[in-house]
């Protein structure tokens, strides 16, 4: 872990207000979800999860086929599909397009994929102004921060924080009511919508059989961003493709419920190609950028490719006790929480942030709620094993490797195991608690334990000794 | 008399021998003969969960060897039970002989409360304890073995015990094996969230089915100077 990462985690843990904000906001999302998927409200929820899992599996196992089908449908509707190997290629396409069309202003609807490739920074460097139009994303753009949560970008900010931010950045009077804040943002954004040349969106689903980009939103900004400007560019990871429009009957039922307990989002937009003759709205030009950016690497791994099933509902973050402690900015990469902990190491390579898959108690709350049933703990374990196999060369990793080797050797030798127990009890045995260690010893695991908690002293006799004594007593 | 072997787990053996003895008491009280294979050590979970699969396999083979002929294996831990019943198969996917032995033993592994309810079929073991308790759902028991109501049913039959639910009963205590020492601040923070929830119940006792969670909770309670105790389910059921 880098010093900055460690510092961020510590800062978050030490900030009582922030802790409360995260815990309350995620807690609210948890209870809303719980109500929305309750047995009496949605009796076939578990069945839907299984179906969603199978549909995603089928789509991912046949990804090449469905991508081709999707592409030919888009083309048939008069749109264009661009394959981008990485963020650089995707943004290059956009920048070229902007230059060709003389576009200087782009409005964006919420998209984690564009966050993943730092699109805004790349555009700004070329003198193009990208404007986030989702309220949460807009707030984060003003604050120059990356999203705190994949569904609720400004989850960690209270309305008072937002009020201060608006005053500082927009020069408006301090407004602490959410409705009024929305109005302020709306007034600014309306101008941008009307002036923008290009609208950028992500995609929640790419429907292969109809060539439609499906996006779900609550604020209607997605609709405006994709229909008002002359040109619409959707940027989506290749894993977003699903076979048929009818499959949405499964996914739309579980996506919003898992995210925040809504039965369905306010807007579900089907965007299939540019405006046709006789249509009253829609862009003149329609492009879909299909992004790889490490995804084919995931695809190559039989077990871990299920990480690509993710529909970015955010439920695993809300239910993750680690995310709820460290917050969304402590993770490397833009995806926080359990899903981030499994895809970031796969996108960047396991040795990039080797600590990440270990930052979990493996409680399994994520997998329990994941609507597409990704086996997150199992994948974390697989990634941990890959990190170990990479044989990192730092001192701590070496010591750990050696310790586990010795440990395994001892654990299959009951006498040695028992002797180690004796030694432990001689050193740390007795009554009561161990609260502190001499400074010299405070660096190892024991010191780490005691930095937070007390440790009961080891009992004088182990179970096996008690057992033997009892049996002896019984014999006499 | 029916016979059950016990796997007490390394942590009970070394840190909480009383829990092992309590389990023996309860099993004998309800008419089972208890066998403790003395060569047993650990199930291998610490290595497996930290990514050391070779080391985990070494220890798992030892476990399988020690218990190969046992008919019932009763374990005072949801986590270790799940390790054996759910993760050994993954460890040995390329070793047919060990995999066969694993599959043979899988249905014979019983977490203690599940054993009482589903094999021995007793709910009332004749225990008595005057305390106000709250039950902590340990994650692997809850999510990998589906243990939720069982321990509560057993506790409901304990005379004198009143049970109060935590609002965060299903939230992880933050132990997580090596996680607790690799990320002490996060783990400690999770423990404090847990004990806040415990305190809101007004209980003076936390009961669980895994001593590893109890070690974490107890350590955090002690650090916070709170007068709340912890007991393993077996200890509660052994009281009379
Ligand atoms: S991994 Fe599952 S729970 Fe997490 S965001 Fe993706 S779909 Fe939602």
- CA angle (A179 as vertex; A173, A181 as ends), nearest 5: 35
Contacts of A282 (CB under 8 A, 6+ apart): A227, A232, A271, A274, A275, A276
Q: Give me the residues paired with residue A205 across strands.
A: A214
User: Which CATH number characterizes residue B203's domain?
Assistant: 3.40.50.10700
pLDDT tens profile A231-275: 999 999 999 999 999 999 999 999 999 999 999 999 999 999 999
- The helix/strand/coil state of A452 is coil
Q: Decide if pLDDT at A370 tops 80.
A: yes
In this structure, the residue with its CA closest to atom 4 of ligand 1 is A316
Q: Decide if pLDDT at A476 tops 70.
A: no
Give how many domains chain B has, as a whole number: 2
Claim to verify: residue B151 and residue B98 sit in the same structural domain:
no
Residue in B closest to A424 by C-alpha: B14
Q: Is the CB of A365 under 6 A from ligand 1?
A: no
Q: Decide if pLDDT at A441 tops 80.
A: no
Q: Comparing C-alpha atoms, which of A254, A253, A238 is closest to residue A205?
A: A238
pLDDT at res. A437: 82
Q: Comparing C-alpha atoms, which of B19, B29, B69 is closest to residue B235?
A: B19
Q: Comparing C-alpha atoms, which of B211, B17, B15, B40 is closest to residue A463?
A: B17
Decide if B130 touches A, using CB distance below 8 A: no
- The helix/strand/coil state of B165 is coil
Structural domain boundaries enclosing B179: 125-238
pLDDT tens profile A139-195: 999 999 999 999 999 999 999 999 999 999 999 999 999 999 999 999 999 999 999
Claim to verify: residue B101 and residue B160 sit in the same structural domain:
no
Chain pair A-B, CB pairs under 8 angstroms: 193
Chain B residues within 8 A of A9 when measuring between CB atoms: 185-186
Inter-chain contact A365–B188, Cβ cutoff 8 Å?
A: no
Claim to verify: residue B148 and residue B229 sit in the same structural domain:
yes
In angstroms, the CA A232 to CA A273 distance is 9
In angstroms, the CA B233 to CA A393 distance is 43
pLDDT tens profile A22-75: 999 999 999 999 999 999 999 999 999 999 999 999 999 999 999 999 999 999
Q: Kindly state the tokens that stand for B43.
A: 């199930």
- Residues 7..36 of B with a Cβ closer than 8 Å to A: which? 8, 10, 12-18, 20-21, 24, 36
Q: Is the CB of A314 under 6 A from ligand 1?
A: yes
Decide if A321 touches B, using CB distance below 8 A: yes
Claim to verify: residue B113 and residue B129 sit in the same structural domain:
no
B20, B43, B49, B51, best to mutate vs chain A, most A CBs in 10 Å: B51
Q: Comparing C-alpha atoms, which of A291, A363, A322 is closest to residue A94?
A: A291
Claim to verify: residue B136 and residue B58 sit in the same structural domain:
no
Q: Decide if pLDDT at A119 tops 90.
A: yes
Decide if B220 touches A, using CB distance below 8 A: yes
Inter-chain contact B8–A463, Cβ cutoff 8 Å?
A: yes
Contacts of A156 (CB under 8 A, 6+ apart): A18, A21, A22, A25, A148, A149, A327, A328
pLDDT at res. A376: 98
Domains of chain A, earliest start first: 1-36+304-393 (1.10.1060), 57-293 (3.40.50.10420), 400-475 (no CATH)
Q: Is the CB of A339 under 6 A from ligand 1?
A: yes
Claim to verify: residue B69 and residue B155 sit in the same structural domain:
no
Q: Decide if pLDDT at A438 tops 80.
A: no
Q: Kindly state the tokens that stand for B229.
A: 């105790």
DSSP 8-state class, residue B85: I
Q: Each residue of A326-365: b (16+ CB within 10 Å) or e?
A: bbbbbbbbbbbbbbbbbbbbbbeebeebbebbbbbbbbbb
pLDDT tens profile A383-431: 999 999 999 999 999 999 999 999 999 999 999 999 999 999 998 898 9
Instruction: Name the CA dihedral angle for B57, B61, B63, B65, rounded to a multiple of 10 degrees.
Output: 180
Decide if B190 touches A, using CB distance below 8 A: yes
Smallest Cβ–Cβ distance between B179 and the set A19, A326, A361 belongs to A361
DSSP 8-state class, residue A111: -
DSSP 8-state class, residue B87: I
Inter-chain contact A411–B59, Cβ cutoff 8 Å?
A: yes
| Cα–ligand 1 centroid distance for A335 (angstroms) | 11
Decide if B5 touches A, using CB distance below 8 A: no
Q: What percent of chain B has pLDDT over 90?
A: 100
Q: Kindly state the tokens that stand for A213.
A: 């980009």
Rg of the Cα atoms in chain B: 17
In angstroms, the CA B191 to CA A315 distance is 22
- Residues 421..460 of A with a Cβ closer than 8 Å to B: which? 421, 424-425, 433, 435, 445-446, 448-449, 451-456, 458-459
Q: Which whole number is the average pLDDT over A201-210?
A: 97
B28, B35, B55, B211, best to mutate vs chain A, most A CBs in 10 Å: B55
pLDDT tens profile B46-61: 999 999 999 999 999 9
pLDDT at res. A440: 72
Decide if B193 touches A, using CB distance below 8 A: yes
Claim to verify: residue B169 and residue B66 sit in the same structural domain:
no
**Mean pLDDT of the residues in chain A:** 95
pLDDT band at A199; cut points 50, 70, 90:
very high
In angstroms, the CA A433 to CA A342 distance is 38
Pick the last residue of a domain from B61, B87, B118: B118
Chain B residues within 8 A of A361 when measuring between CB atoms: 139, 172, 174-177, 179-180, 187, 190
Claim to verify: residue B201 and residue B154 sit in the same structural domain:
yes
In angstroms, the CA A372 to CA A392 distance is 34
Claim to verify: residue B146 and residue B107 sit in the same structural domain:
no
pLDDT tens profile B191-212: 999 999 999 999 999 999 999 9
Claim to verify: residue B100 and residue B134 sit in the same structural domain:
no
Q: Which whole number is the average pLDDT over B68-81?
A: 98
Pick the last residue of a domain from B56, B86, B118: B118
pLDDT band at A281; cut points 50, 70, 90:
confident
Distance of CA A205 to the CA centre of its chain: 17
State the closest ligand 1 atom to the C-alpha of A338, by its place in the atom list counted from 1. 4
pLDDT tens profile B125-158: 999 999 999 999 999 999 999 999 999 999 999 9
In angstroms, the CA B120 to CA A207 distance is 54
| Contact (Cβ atoms closer than 8 angstroms) between residue B11 and residue B215 | yes
Claim to verify: residue B65 and residue B131 sit in the same structural domain:
no
In angstroms, the CA A446 to CA A327 distance is 26
Contacts of B236 (CB under 8 A, 6+ apart): B127, B129, B133, B155, B158, B161, B207
Q: What is the 3-state secondary structure (H, E, C) of B107-135?
A: HHEEEHHHHHHHHCCCCCCCCECCCEEEE
Q: Decide if pLDDT at A475 tops 80.
A: no
pLDDT at res. A3: 86
Pick the last residue of a domain from B97, B118, B139: B118
| Contact (Cβ atoms closer than 8 angstroms) between residue B236 and residue B140 | no
Claim to verify: residue B22 and residue B99 sit in the same structural domain:
yes
Q: Comparing C-alpha atoms, which of A388, A385, A366, A363 is closest to residue A375?
A: A366
B94 CA: distance to closest CA in chain A (Å): 15
Q: Which whole number is the average pLDDT over A334-361?
A: 95
Inter-chain contact A361–B172, Cβ cutoff 8 Å?
A: yes
Inter-chain contact B182–A465, Cβ cutoff 8 Å?
A: no
What is the pTM for the complete model shown?
0.96
Classify the C-alpha dihedral A112-A113-A116-A120 as positive or negative.
Answer: negative
Q: Is the CB of A367 under 6 A from ligand 1?
A: no
């Amino acid at each position: 872990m880098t010093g900055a990462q460690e510092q961020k985690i510590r800062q978050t843990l030490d900030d009582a207000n922030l802790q409360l904000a995260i815990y309350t906001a995620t807690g609210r999302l948890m209870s809303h979800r719980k109500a929305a998927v309750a047995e009496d409200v949605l009796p076939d929820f578990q069945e839907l999860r299984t179906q969603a899992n199978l549909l995603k599996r089928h789509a991912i196992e046949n990804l090449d086929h469905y991508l081709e089908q999707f592409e030919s449908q888009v083309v048939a509707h008069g749109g264009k599909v661009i394959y981008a190997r990485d963020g650089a290629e995707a943004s290059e396409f956009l920048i070229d397009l902007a230059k060709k069309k003389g576009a200087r202003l782009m409005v964006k609807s919420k998209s984690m994929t564009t966050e993943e490739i730092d699109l805004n920074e790349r555009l700004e460097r070329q003198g193009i102004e990208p404007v986030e139009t989702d309220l949460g994303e807009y707030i984060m753009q003003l604050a120059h921060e990356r999203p705190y949560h994949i569904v609720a970008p400004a989850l960690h900010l209270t309305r008072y924080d937002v009020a201060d931010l608006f005053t500082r950045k927009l020069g408006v009077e301090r407004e602490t009511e959410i409705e009024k804040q929305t109005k302020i943002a709306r007034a600014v954004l309306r101008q941008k919508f009307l002036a923008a040349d290009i609208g950028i969106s992500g995609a929640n689903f790419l429907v292969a059989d109809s060539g439609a980009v499906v996006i779900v939103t609550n604020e209607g900004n997605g609709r405006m961003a994709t229909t008002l400007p002359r040109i619409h560019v959707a940027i989506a990871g290749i894993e977003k493709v699903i076979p048929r429009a009818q499959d949405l009957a499964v996914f739309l039922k579980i996506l919003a419920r898992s995210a925040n307990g809504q039965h369905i989002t306010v807007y579900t937009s089907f965007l299939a190609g540019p405006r046709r003759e006789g249509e009253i709205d829609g862009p003149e030009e329609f492009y879909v950028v299909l992004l790889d950016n490490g995804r084919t690497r995931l695809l190559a791994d039989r077990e871990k490719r299920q990480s690509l099933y993710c529909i970015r509902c955010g439920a695993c973050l809300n239910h993750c006790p680690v995310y709820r402690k460290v917050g969304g900015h402590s993770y490397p990469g833009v995806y926080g929480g359990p899903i981030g902990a499994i895809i970031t190491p796969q996108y960047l390579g396991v040795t990039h942030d080797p600590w990440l898959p270990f930052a979990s108690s493996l409680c399994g709350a994520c997998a329990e709620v994941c609507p597409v049933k990704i086996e997150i703990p199992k994948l974390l374990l697989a990634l941990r094993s890959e990190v170990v196999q990479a044989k990192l060369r730092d001192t701590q990793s070496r010591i750990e490797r050696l310790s586990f080797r010795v440990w395994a050797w001892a654990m299959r030798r009951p006498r040695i195991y028992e002797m180690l127990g004796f030694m432990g009890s001689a050193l740390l045995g007795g009554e009561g608690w161990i609260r502190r260690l001499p400074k010299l010893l405070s660096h190892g695991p024991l010191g780490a334990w005691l930095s937070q908690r007390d440790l009961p002293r080891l009992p004088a006799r182990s179970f096996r000794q008690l057992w033997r004594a009892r049996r002896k007593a019984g014999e006499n | 008399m029916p016979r059950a072997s016990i796997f007490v787990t390394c942590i009970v053996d070394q840190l909480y021998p009383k829990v092992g003895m309590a389990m023996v008491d309860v099993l004998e009280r309800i008419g089972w003969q208890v066998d403790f294979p003395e060569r047993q050590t650990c199930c291998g979970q610490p290595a497996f969960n930290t990514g050391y699969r070779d080391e985990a396999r070494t220890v798992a083979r030892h476990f399988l060897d020690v218990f190969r002929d046992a008919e019932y294996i009763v374990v005072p831990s949801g986590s270790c039970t799940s390790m054996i019943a759910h993760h050994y198969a993954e460890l040995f996917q390329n070793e047919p002989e060990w995999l066969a032995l694993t599959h043979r033993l899988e249905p014979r592994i019983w977490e203690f409360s599940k054993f009482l309810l589903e094999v021995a079929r007793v709910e009332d073991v004749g225990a008595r304890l005057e305390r106000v308790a709250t039950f902590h759902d340990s994650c692997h028991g809850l999510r990998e073995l589906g243990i939720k109501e069982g321990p509560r049913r057993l506790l409901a039959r304990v005379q004198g015990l009143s049970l109060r639910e935590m609002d965060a009963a299903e939230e992880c205590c933050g132990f997580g094996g090596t996680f607790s020492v690799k990320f002490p601040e996060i783990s400690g923070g999770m423990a404090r969230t847990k004990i806040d929830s415990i305190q809101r119940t007004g209980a003076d006792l936390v009961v669980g089915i895994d001593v590893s969670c109890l070690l974490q909770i107890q350590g955090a309670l002690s650090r916070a100077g709170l007068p709340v105790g912890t007991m393993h389910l077996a200890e509660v059921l052994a009281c009379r």
